[in-house]
Structure 1
Amino acid sequence: MTLSGGGGDLKIIGSLQKEHMNPETVDDILSKELQQLSFVTRTEINEEVHGVLCLAPEETPVLLQESLQQLHQELSVLRQFGKARAYGQACQHAHSYVHANDFRLRFLRAELLDPIKAAVRMSLFLDLLLDFFGPIVLERPLRITDLTKQEMDILREGDLQPLPFRDRSGRRVIVTVNQFTMQYPIDARLKASLYLHWALSGDLESQRKGFVAIMCWSSKSTPFPPSLPGPGDKAFSNSSKLFSAFPWRMCSLHMCFPDKPFFHLLRSGIFLVLGENRSRIRMHIGDSIEIQYNLSGYGIPSDQLPVTESGNVKTKNARQWLRIRRALESAEVAGDDYKLMALNLIECPGSKDVVFRCGQAYLSHPGNVMFRGLIEAMFQEHNNALSSESKVNITWQIIEEVEHIGGRFLVWDDGWWKVMTDKQHIRSKVAIAFKDHKRRVKAMSNCQVTQSSTLKFQQQDGRKRKRSDDAENDATACTQFFCM
């Protein structure tokens, strides 16, 4: 996500410039736009922003086929009227990837299967690819090797990066930090953003559920006056196209700023270029703790934000993601083992996948939350089972339940997630999860007994006493979760 937008009304932009991008004027415009929406539409947008609703329609093979046919017709109309320049060039290549259903479905899902809007989005995307990367990307997909060193620096240094896990509702999260990449030329930012969004929009769940964008500025970092593109600039035109051309849907944009006048002005500038997406913006003002608390209310794993309070950017996850992309694309170019490798190498766990790796970050992963619920629901039955065979059968039931809803079991291996194929190994992991849950239940029970005994002792003379280290350790044990 770069500081760019799409579909901005030039009249609104002109009026805002006359008002010097007054934040109050921006708020009035947003309020009027929301009032023009129906109550149902406003409610749906608000619920999707909070991650409790997905507006993607239920898909059937018949519906998808009809939508693809209608999209083809709309593209032909655009081409006939000269409004699909790059698409027309791509059609000259019989084996171009733009003819593939998988490619076109990205844009259909981005527009909730609206073929007219999808045709416009797809043609804009191809126009941008042609302008920035040349005709080669009309014949084969955009690759990481198409980026220059400067564009790679934007991704490598983590200024623009995806979070390693999805949010509560299964959406990918893209974070822009460290001056929002505005220290780089506008073309470099746009090209890096194009690649990032193309790469992340490849899997089905991401296409249907869309993504969440976060612009995060540490309250302790020093602001600087960026040079925002104006409506008469070519940079503004390209930035406007970018937001309208993403191959997947933006569900919400969270702007996380310190409470300083500069950032209120910056927010007004961003409003200039967001067009119809303005209704999906949420502003969060305060220090890092306040912002993390606010973001968690939207189902966003705020503890994973890649920026420290001092403004330093965490690059570990960004570099791991680039390593995975290189491996995937290298295998794709090689051709022979690509499909087999793609099935076993996972860029980002799905919301129904269960991941096995120690660390606090993995506890909030939606698949692990679901898995812990299954363990808790069947714990008593497993604990009361009289034979080892009965316990084994219960672990198999857990595995079948996860696979029934489309989940997989993943393990972190050699720098990326891989699908576990050894059923016995998976079963042993589930058995360990039951043991860990039993230890946690026992620790909580001991904690309650300790607190009860301490309270009784304190009430003997009516005076408060300092808790012992043992009591503190017991309380800490009560909060521990098993590693997954």
Structure 2
Amino acid sequence: MSALQNIPRTLREEDERDKIEDELLLKASEMDALLTKELNQLSMNDRELTMEEIHGAHANKVKRMEESRLDSVLEQLQIELDAIQDERRRAYNIALGMNSTYVIERKFRTTFFRAESYDAKKAAIRMLHFLTYAREKFGENALLRPIRWDDMSDKAMAILEEGSMQILPARDNAGRLVLSLIADAGTGCPLVDRSQMCFYVFNCLAEDSLSQLLGVVVVFFMHNFVTAGIPEVEHRKGLIQILQAVPNRVSACHYCFPNTPFFHTLKAAFLLASGKESRTRSRFHIGTVTELVRYGLMEENPEALEKIVEIPHHKDYLFGKGQAIMKHQGNIALRALLKERLSCWENAAFKEKSSICWEIIHEVAQQGGRFLRDTPQGWFVEVEPDSVRKKVSIAFRDMLKRARRNNRGGQQQEKAQVAGVSSADTYLPFPITLDHAIQAQTYNDLNLSRKIPPKRQKVRTGEDDDFSEKMFCNFSMNNGSS
């Protein structure tokens, strides 16, 4: 009887769920219309710049301000900070009251300036949001120094150690760092812990000077997301606060969703929480994992931090072994450059060869590349110029040897073809006489001894000496029988 009573209730729940999904799909379509409207409101120039920034084609157009001009521009930032006299300034005033040198450091303020493309007013607002959020989540120590790993809670540390949110080890084609977020990052943890984790990671991204100029790319992978429900309003507000406070510019945000009604609704929730500027830089990739494979990143592509280089740039040349280094874009470009200069280097005198090596080193440097080697700690360091010159010279010699060896092989093949004799015909398929058999066996033993280390070579016994004779006898008997 109880089962019969549950049938209408189950049907009612399904009907209600269908109605909710229809309403959510309607909201999702409304957000799509809003996004289209905002894109259409942009001028032709702004729309083109936005598209270039999403696809990483803006690297050459990024404003790079000279150090001499930066001082005068930072004065404008101070003027804008002084002009703001409301609640947003509270954390900043507390920092000044604590005699904090951190909030007045040139490096700290420049980060916000670059994040807002040198707009002083926007940079001032972002800086105040940063201080307010940092004080709220990490305490007043965050007003005195950069946020550290041990400032986070144990739960926030545990989330990061899971690897659900991490900076990828390779940059994109434009040289931007890529932040990857897998859907289950921090699932079940309080909002405070997740907020600490996100804020800390974005602060780490801000330490990269190239990311300050080009922005960062964020990739959300939602295919393993447990559909427990749409993020609460509190979570959406938290996302907005983080995006407004972090000292970074998100130049592109990619969402990878399955093609289901729930995720279409989730798409609307993300767009609603992002704000107008972030919405225009968001792209949604709907489909299965297999369908999304074509949206892949390069195998290798990197950049630098002073002497220690955590992620090499795609123009850098890496010393080392392995397929990853061989396929590195900088290594491929250098091999092509060496191939172009090989004939000049071959015909040059000794001193001229050294000059050609230095020319190649300078040419790589002018293009923004460096010569790096990896370390046991997992990062890269720059190689001294003299060592680079020697290695370039060795690379020339190795390339020349390979070229000559290939030429000799081609010439021998041509001679064999002219004589009408194939190279395969020079070796007998089996011995004709006992002398031939012994000679062939000795030749094979000689080749084997070159390939196998002494410890692994098998000591031949007298029984093995009968091998050639047995082989010859078998051959003779077969011929006699035929």
1:160 to 135, 160, 165: 165
2:133 to 128, 131, 134: 128
2:111 to 81, 106, 110: 106
Q: Which residue of 2 aligns with 1:404?
A: 366
Q: Which is further off, 346-355 or 65-74?
A: 346-355
2:72 to 50, 57, 66: 66
Measured in 1, the distance between the counterparts of 2:26 and 2:318 equals: 46
Q: Spell out, residue by residue over 1:297-326, the C-alpha distance to the aligned partner (whole angstroms, 9 max, x if none).
A: xxx42x579xxxxxxxxxxxxxxxxxxxxx
Quick one: which amino acid aligns to residue 114 of structure 2? R
8 Å contact 2:182–2:221 — kept in the other structure? yes
8 Å contact 2:300–2:327 — kept in the other structure? no
8 Å contact 1:166–1:365 — kept in the other structure? no
Q: Which of 1 and 2 has greater Rg?
A: 2
Q: What is the RMSD of the two structures over their aligned residues, measured on CA atoms?
A: 3.3
Quickly say closer, same or farther: Cα 1:180–1:420, change in 2 above 3 A.
same
Mapping of 1:167-246 within 5 angstroms?
167-218=172-223, 221=224, 223-231=225-233, 233=234, 235-246=235-246
The CA deviation at 1:86 is 1.4
8 Å contact 2:317–2:372 — kept in the other structure? yes
Quick one: which amino acid aligns to residue 374 of structure 1? L
2:81 to 62, 75, 78: 75
The CA deviation at 1:168 is 1.0
Measured in 2, the distance between the counterparts of 1:168 and 1:128 equals: 33
The CA deviation at 1:209 is 0.9
2:344 to 377, 381, 386: 381
Q: Which residue of 1 aligns with 2:286?
A: 285
The CA deviation at 1:445 is 10
Measured in 2, the distance between the counterparts of 1:106 and 1:448 equals: 59
Quickly say closer, same or farther: Cα 1:426–1:227, change in 2 above 3 A.
farther
8 Å contact 1:214–1:255 — kept in the other structure? yes
Measured in 2, the distance between the counterparts of 1:431 and 1:407 equals: 18
SS in 1 for 2:97: coil
Quickly say closer, same or farther: Cα 1:378–1:19, change in 2 above 3 A.
same
Mapping of 1:454-469 within 5 angstroms?
none
Structure 1, unaligned runs of 5 or more: 1-15, 306-341, 450-484
SS in 2 for 1:410: strand
8 Å contact 1:169–1:366 — kept in the other structure? no
8 Å contact 2:220–2:255 — kept in the other structure? yes
Measured in 2, the distance between the counterparts of 1:374 and 1:355 equals: 15
8 Å contact 1:21–1:268 — kept in the other structure? no
8 Å contact 2:300–2:328 — kept in the other structure? no
Higher relative contact order (CA 8 A, sep 6+): 1
Quick one: which amino acid aligns to residue 72 of structure 1? Q
The CA deviation at 1:217 is 3.8
Q: Spell out, residue by residue over 1:405-463, the C-alpha distance to the aligned partner (whole angstroms, 9 max, x if none).
A: 443322111122232343333234434555676689899999999xxxxxxxxxxxxxx
Structure 1 residue 355 corresponds to structure 2 residue 318: yes
Quickly say closer, same or farther: Cα 1:399–1:260, change in 2 above 3 A.
same
Measured in 1, the distance between the counterparts of 2:405 and 2:260 equals: 46
8 Å contact 2:239–2:274 — kept in the other structure? no
SS in 1 for 2:311: coil
Quickly say closer, same or farther: Cα 1:446–1:209, change in 2 above 3 A.
farther
The CA deviation at 1:128 is 1.1
Higher helix content, 1 or 2: 2
Quick one: which amino acid aligns to residue 278 of structure 2? N
Measured in 1, the distance between the counterparts of 2:311 and 2:33 equals: 39
Q: Which residue of 1 aligns with 2:62?
A: 56
Q: Which residue of 1 aligns with 2:381?
A: 419
The CA deviation at 1:104 is 0.5
The CA deviation at 1:180 is 4.5
Quickly say closer, same or farther: Cα 1:428–1:184, change in 2 above 3 A.
farther
8 Å contact 2:25–2:261 — kept in the other structure? no
8 Å contact 1:165–1:365 — kept in the other structure? no
Measured in 2, the distance between the counterparts of 1:346 and 1:269 equals: 38
Q: Spell out, residue by residue over 1:198-257, the C-alpha distance to the aligned partner (whole angstroms, 9 max, x if none).
A: 112113212111111111245xx4x411454444x3x43332110112212111011123
The CA deviation at 1:134 is 0.3
Structure 2, unaligned runs of 5 or more: 1-20, 412-482
Q: Which residue of 2 aligns with 1:44?
A: 49
Instruction: State the identity as a percent.
Output: 33
Quickly say closer, same or farther: Cα 1:45–1:351, change in 2 above 3 A.
same
Quick one: which amino acid aligns to residue 165 of structure 2? L
Q: Spell out, residue by residue over 1:260-312, the C-alpha distance to the aligned partner (whole angstroms, 9 max, x if none).
A: 333322222211111121111112233445423224xxxx42x579xxxxxxx
Quick one: which amino acid aligns to residue 274 of structure 1? S
Structure 1 residue 33 corresponds to structure 2 residue 44: no
Measured in 2, the distance between the counterparts of 1:286 and 1:31 equals: 21
Quick one: which amino acid aligns to residue 283 of structure 1? F
8 Å contact 1:169–1:351 — kept in the other structure? no
Measured in 1, the distance between the counterparts of 2:370 and 2:269 equals: 43
Measured in 1, the distance between the counterparts of 2:88 and 2:100 equals: 22
The CA deviation at 1:137 is 1.2
Scaled by the length of structure 1, what TM-score is found?
Answer: 0.71
Q: Which is further off, 419-428 or 59-68?
A: 419-428
8 Å contact 1:255–1:283 — kept in the other structure? yes
Quick one: which amino acid aligns to residue 137 of structure 2? F
SS in 2 for 1:51: coil
